Amino acid sequence: MTEDLNREDYDLEERKRESKYGKNYKWITLSNTTLGVLMASIDSSILIISLPAIFNGLGVNPLTPGNIALLLWLLLGYMIMSSVIVVTIGRLSDMFGRVKLYNLGFAIFAIGSTILYAVTYLFTGTTAVLLMIVFRLVQGFGGGFLFANGAAILTDAFPHDQRGTAMGINQIAAIMGGLIGLILGGILSAIDWHLIFLISVPVGILGAIWSYLALHEIAKIRENQKVDILGNVTFGVALTLILISMTYGLLPYGTSNTGWSSPYVIGGIVTGLLLLVAFVFIELRAKDPMFNLYLFKIRAFSAGILSLFLAGIARGGLQFMLIIWLQGIWLPLHGVSFVNTPLRAGIDMIPLLLGFLVMGPVAGHLSDKYGARLFSTLGMIINVVGFLLLMALPVNFSYPVFALIIFVLGIGQGMFAAPNTTSVMNAVPPEHRGITAGMRATFTNMSFMFSIVIFFTLLVIGLGTALPGALYTGLIAQSVPTAAAHAVSQLPPTSALFAALLGYNPMLTLLPHNVTAVIPKTNLTVITGNEFFPNLVSAPFADGIHSVLIAAIIMSAIAAVASALRGKRFVYGRK
């Protein structure tokens, strides 16, 4: 721990920093780290909408049983990789230099993006998909360096009374990147799917050169520290096992609609949790631990991390469920063809982004003056209200009402994000900012993974109860042979949900070709039209989405309580 500084000494340090690096250095830092987190966030979501064009271009059907695992790895591998490494990178950054490792991350990201773009032209079929997964993991590895160091570098560069504003702008880029990725993926895939992988190449190269030339190592490097190899390996293996097992929990297993009964999934999660317990004991006894667990004794840190994690699960689940709601039901019912629903869903989600854009910088600026507790707590309370309003909506809602509700949710999320991040970063000693930023990034990325797993599972369970009967009755009414109707109705809902998410016609995906060949043309037109599947799935989906929203309300409410209990405004080193 560093010794506390009185106010005069602390302000003197800030003036020395400005004198050495210039008054504009903090803004250079903000612009570069914002570019880094924006690009990393765009790459985390750009494939969601563009996957159909990518798989069609490669000649691979992603929805066949053997290829769904490839689909999941291509979609989630980037986030798994960045989630696993960010804490380790944060610790190494405290030891060897935050800017140095940030620059290295930008370079790795640029190299991975360049090779990935080349792969899309040089290979086809399953080989191309496997290579793309490998270099998406390389991108995620580089992106992990950016996620792990951005907040710490900003905290080093900005005085304490401007950090909230800086974090607000940076957090906007992180959230905005996710939505921009959805829209950009739809636009580029409509032009040429190869462009999806080209866009990160020049940005990665220019960003790497810019960061190398412009950023300076402000934080003191911690000398005579050893790398906690056992702690790093234990934590990395634990997190990898848990995240991969949870990913495979989304896939059907045996007669179950999900994989949670699979011994491999159960064994992976249990082993991962046991390794995390071992990690705690290792860290408490390590001379130079990977993560100083005593930081959790700082109330502002522990409350901020807990609320961040819960709020992230609620936010990620919200975005994922709203996309399925729009693409699988609402947009087809309003005349949009399934192939065009991914891009339209991204556009219809813009009010959520606008709410965040409006409130993010404002809340960050105000938290510099008045502290984080009021704004972060109120933001989560607004989220609770927003989720309650969504529960009151019918499945086939009025868009202006829907847009207003998600705008309010964006306001709540914007009010929470920057103040909470600033509070966490301000609460820790300067020499622990790298590992703190890494821990914050880990919980942020994990919350996204957890949200998909938890809410997708709740939705599948809800659909699995009511959908088979509704599907069987609807198909029989359209002259589908009894045996075929029964077989289709017993398929796991996973395939239909993934089809809707990716812009495929769900019924064409579920019905075998030999069955569509014998169905009267008039009936087949009805079955594969815009209204059959949405009307069929609306009632079961309403049950599933209510379960999802109840879970989101509970998590947001707990996050609000945690935020309220973070204590008064606290900046480490200021008396």
pLDDT of residue 74: 85
What is the percentage of the chain residues whose pLDDT exceeds 90?
Answer: 14
Whether pLDDT at 2 is above 60: no
Q: What is the pTM of this model?
A: 0.81
pLDDT digits (tens, 9 = 90+) for 56-109: 888 888 777 677 778 878 877 888 888 788 878 887 887 888 888 889 988 998
Q: What is the mean pLDDT of the chain?
A: 83
Ranges 249-253, 261-265, 295-299, 433-437, most confident: 261-265
Give the dihedral of Cα atoms 325, 327, 333, 337; nearest 10 deg: 180
Whether pLDDT at 1 is above 50: no
pLDDT of residue 224: 67
Ranges 409-423, 499-513, 550-564, most confident: 550-564
pLDDT of residue 4: 41
Mean pLDDT of 41-47: 80
Domain residue spans in the chain?
22-225, 228-287, 463-542
CA-CA distances (angstroms) from residue 391 to 333, 477, 544, 547? 20, 31, 11, 10
pLDDT digits (tens, 9 = 90+) for 113-151: 999 999 988 998 899 999 999 999 998 898 888 877 887
- What distance in Å separates the CA atoms of residue 486 and residue 469, rounded to the nearest whole number? 9
Ranges 153-167, 248-262, 275-289, 443-457, most confident: 275-289
Whether pLDDT at 10 is above 60: no
DSSP structure string for 165-220: HHHHHHHHHHHHHHHHHHHHHHHHHHH-TTHHHHTHHHHHHHHHHHHHHH----SP
The mean-pLDDT minimum among 5-19, 329-343, 472-486 falls in 5-19
pLDDT of residue 14: 59
CATH class of the domain comprising 22-225: mainly alpha
pLDDT of residue 568: 67
The mean-pLDDT minimum among 159-168, 254-263, 413-422 falls in 159-168
Closest CA to 501 of 42, 46, 51, 44: 51
Ranges 65-74, 282-291, 380-389, 564-573, most confident: 380-389
Residue 381 has phi, psi (to 5 degrees) of: -65, -40
Mean pLDDT of 242-263: 83
Give residue 3's pLDDT band: very low, low, confident or very high (50, 70, 90).
very low
The mean-pLDDT minimum among 3-12, 118-127, 292-301 falls in 3-12
